Amino acid sequence: MILKAKPRGDGRQLGRYLLTMGENEHIEVHEVRGFVSDDVAGALSEVDAIAKGTKCRQSLFSVSLNPPPNENVRIQTFEKAIEAIEEKNGLSGQPRVVVFHEKEGRRHCHAVWSRIDAETMTAKPLPFFKNKLQEVSKQLYLENGWQMPRGLIDKQNRDPRNFTLAEWQQAKRSGRHAGEIKGLIQEAWAISDTRQSFSHALEERGFYLARGDRRAYAAVTFEGEVIAIPRAIGKKTKDVRERLGKAEELRSIEETRQRIAEGILPRMKSHLDEARGKARLETGALNSRRSVMTETHAEERAKLDAGQKQRFEDESRNRADRLRKGVLGLWDKLTGKRAKLEKQNEMEALWALQRDREQRHAVIASQMQERQNLQAEITATRSRHAQALLDLHSDTANYRLMQRGEAPKPRAKTSFERLEALREKSRQPESQRQSKPATQIKPKPKRQPLSPDERLKRLRERREQQRDRGPELEP
């Protein structure tokens, strides 16, 4: 389970974020503990009010818990992880809020603690909280038998395409994935050795080399977003300068945007409009299916919650009726029968809670599986249209070569394309997977046995070669 955390303030804004649907398809408030208010917005606003009596500007500790994509994680596992985080960081007993979000067939959790100690009016310190969260994360992978990411085992093996929240938001504005953007820029850097080759490789992938404002080298996307090249490829600016030369010789960001608008966009506009039109038609139909599915799932959960609530009230009433009142109740208390009934009621209430949790987990797991199947179609469609746009950028970058009659080299498949091809092949049934026809398989030639004369001839040749080398020296 990947854990990401940071101290922060502005509880009111965080409360709005936790309760806003946005891209989330389902939101479930799991727990509000230690606050006067019983809702998320009111609870986090309380923290803001209390923090005004201190000098603390980051009165909240927000943690997101992201389980492995294909694992069916129970609520008990999330609760155990939250307790471990709380204990490791010295937040035991502090007020907290727990909210579950679901989107794109994945379920993750947000846990928010108040750092303010109401008795001392001081903030709880959080020394080395990232290292402590990493320890908790490793323990969760080991206890649950999940495959641990290589980057969590050793920092040197971290995925170079990992991205920050700011990079994710920037990529979202461009309609791309942040990891894909970094991967394409890294591939362009890997296959080039000069500024010209790097610039051409970038343009084949929809980026344009420019002189940045704060950083010397930048890549401008076709949509106009600016990406720092050293940060994207994980290199220092001086290392980039050794290969690309002086940054002053490059176009500025504004000049690059103007070049895209005046020289490149007119050649691509009609093709872009056609590609985006096809994408809107296909994704529109899938989004409609997703909306209908989300509404259906929400209705099923609401019906389940109402049924469980009614059953809980009926069962609680039946358990209460077992306890007699008046003189008979006093007699039961004196004989010890009432204590036995109370213990039985407690056990049955606990069993009922576990039963309801299991029933709800089964419904959610079934719905998530259905949603993941739809998400696989959505992802395949997005990849197909992203590939069409990538081919369009490649053709545009090689436009001058085609004008001179030179055939440009075919663009090699990116790692994302190869990975998607493998995923698509793994999704196909065994009977539909393409294999080499029997006519194309070349049988291994069999060695023909030697005749006695040929064997004797080879033996004589071997002896003559040994005689020419002379006797071997004995040690």
C-alpha span between 129 and 79 (Å, rounded): 19
Give the closest residue to 43 by CA, choosing from 55, 25, 52, 31: 31
Max CA pair span of the chain: 121
Buried b (16+ CB within 10 A) or exposed e, 196-230: eebbbbbbbbbbbbbbbeebbbbbbbbeebbbbbb
pLDDT at site 212: 79
Spell out the residues 6+ positions from residue 38 whose beta carbon is closer than 8 angstroms to its own: 32
Give the closest residue to 114 by CA, choosing from 140, 89, 77: 89
pLDDT at 472 over 50: no
pLDDT at site 206: 82
Give the closest residue to 412 by CA, choosing from 150, 192, 133: 192
Give 471's pLDDT tier (boundaries 50, 70, 90): very low
Give residue limits of the domains in the chain: 2-157, 165-251, 272-403
Of 195-199, 269-273, 313-317, 441-445, where does mean pLDDT reach its minimum? 441-445
pLDDT at site 167: 56
pLDDT at site 424: 63
Q: How many CA atoms lie within 13 A of 208 on its CB side?
A: 24
> What is the token pair recorded at 157?
């093996």
pLDDT digits (tens, 9 = 90+) for 100-159: 999 888 899 999 999 998 888 899 999 999 999 999 998 998 888 888 877 776 665 555
Give 96's pLDDT tier (boundaries 50, 70, 90): very high
Task: Tally the residues of the chain.
Answer: 475
pTM over the 0.85 mark: no
| CATH number attached to the domain at 2-157 | 3.30.930.30
Paired residues of 108 in beta bridges: 101
